[in-house]
Amino acid sequence: MKIGIVCHPSIGGSGLVATQLGVGLAKKGHEVHFIAQMRPFKLDELPNVFFHDVERINYPLFDDPLVTFALTAKIVEVATEFQLDIVHAHYSIPHSLSCYLANEISPHKFAVITTIHGTDVTIVGRDKPLFPLNRFSINRSCMVTTVSHFQKHYVEKHFDIEKEIVVVHNFIDSKVFTPNNYSDKTRAKLAAADEKIIMHISNFRPVKNTDTVIKVFKNLTEKVNARLILLGDGPELARTKTMCAELGIGDKVTALGKVRNVETLLPVADCIIQPSFNESFSMVALEAMACGVPPVLSNCDGIPEVVVDGVTGFMADPLDVEKLTDACYKILSDRVLAEKMADAGRAHAIKTFAWEEKVSEYEAVYQQAIVLR
């Protein structure tokens, strides 16, 4: 098949899932065309993978660079030139509507697939001005998928969607995310030999609940010699660092900012903590499990579909600092439990979220869409 993938070139989340899918499809022999404002950060050069840059429209009359129109025009251009069978929108806003418009405009018709990732319907997509546009374009997609059963039920409840929503869970390449993908040198650079490492990986938006991360870590420092490593960047990071300094734990916290190869750092952690208020899936939890790192998470939304509580990680209410602290402490202080959980997590990631299987599920969705087109 000839497939277009439209995504936000974000470091994690939907951009990462779209990239992994495109790469997986290319490995299976499909021709894949990425259409985005920047090359997705994990998109390496590969045969039969192409990247098409969406150039902004800068004209003095316009206050803004008309990014959504520029994207729509690029989809028309690429679909026509390469005779695409499918254009797959990852994250409905504004991609799904751009795909719909492009298909209306283009002389060459293609099947539009929309994958809903989370905040495109929970936070951004429920905003009053965007809601009707979002609902319209989701409804007009040939097929709609989402990344968890929680998210499917949420969309069905709030969006009045006429068609069936197919759940395809996110997935992982367990050869890339593996416990062995790090060197002792990396660990030595990050923490002292006798320090336990707790990691938090996020885009530091309010939804990630970083205050709770810091409160839990502060409690832990009273019982364990530990270091908190923060990966990623975002609007809450500066405030988070100030909070650490005020609590007197600033010297125990290292913020590394945005990193490209999280798989080379994640395996050094002894546990991760992600107490998000919303999470349709949590790629970070899956990546940690694949790396044999027990995750401690909130029990919200789609997270229980990823983590088996008490077996592959622990879950608690997002504001239950005490329970989250206890969970981390158990992992950091009980070696036998930590090893058992690490093995169970990796086995679960490999068995339930293998990329080969999930890419096949998307291929089946595409086949169905081509018939329906």
Residue 296 near residue 313 (C-beta atoms within 8 A): yes
Judged by CB under 6 A, the residue of 279, 325, 345, 348 near ligand GMT is 279
Q: How far is the CB of 151 from ligand GMT (least distance, A)?
A: 8
**274 scored as a contact of ligand GMT (CB under 6 A):** no
Task: Report the C-alpha gap between 163 and 36 in whole angstroms.
Answer: 27
Residue 207 near residue 238 (C-beta atoms within 8 A): no
Q: How far is the CB of 348 from ligand GMT (least distance, A)?
A: 16
**Phi, psi angles (nearest 5°) of residue 136:** -60, -50
Task: Report the C-alpha gap between 238 and 53 in whole angstroms.
Answer: 32
Q: How far is the CB of 42 from ligand GMT (least distance, A)?
A: 13
Q: Which amino acid type is present at position 211?
A: D
Judged by CB under 6 A, the residue of 43, 102, 111, 147 near ligand GMT is 147
Q: Between residues 119 and 312, which has the closer beta carbon with respect to ligand GMT?
A: 119
**145 scored as a contact of ligand GMT (CB under 6 A):** no
Query: CA-based angle 265:267:272, to the nearest 5?
Result: 90
Judged by CB under 6 A, the residue of 19, 96, 119, 312 near ligand GMT is 119
The tokens of 130 are what? 């965007």
Task: Report the C-alpha gap between 353 and 198 in whole angstroms.
Answer: 24
Task: Report the C-alpha gap between 335 and 341 in whole angstroms.
Answer: 10
Task: Report the C-alpha gap between 46 and 27 in whole angstroms.
Answer: 9
Q: How far is the CB of 19 from ligand GMT (least distance, A)?
A: 11
Q: Between residues 101 and 306, which has the closer beta carbon with respect to ligand GMT?
A: 306
The tokens of 251 are what? 């010297």
Strands 196-201 and 226-231: parallel
**236 scored as a contact of ligand GMT (CB under 6 A):** no
Q: What is the dihedral of CA 44, 302, 122, 208, to 10 degrees?
A: -70
User: Which span sits near ligand GMT by CB under 6 A: 9-17, 31-39, 98-106, 178-186?
Assistant: 9-17
Q: Between residues 42 and 227, which has the closer beta carbon with respect to ligand GMT?
A: 42
Q: How far is the CB of 367 from ligand GMT (least distance, A)?
A: 22
Binding mask 177-216 for ligand GMT (x = CB under 6 A): --------------------------x-x-x---------
Contacting positions for ligand GMT (CB under 6 A): 10, 13-14, 17, 91, 117-119, 147, 170, 203, 205, 207, 278-283
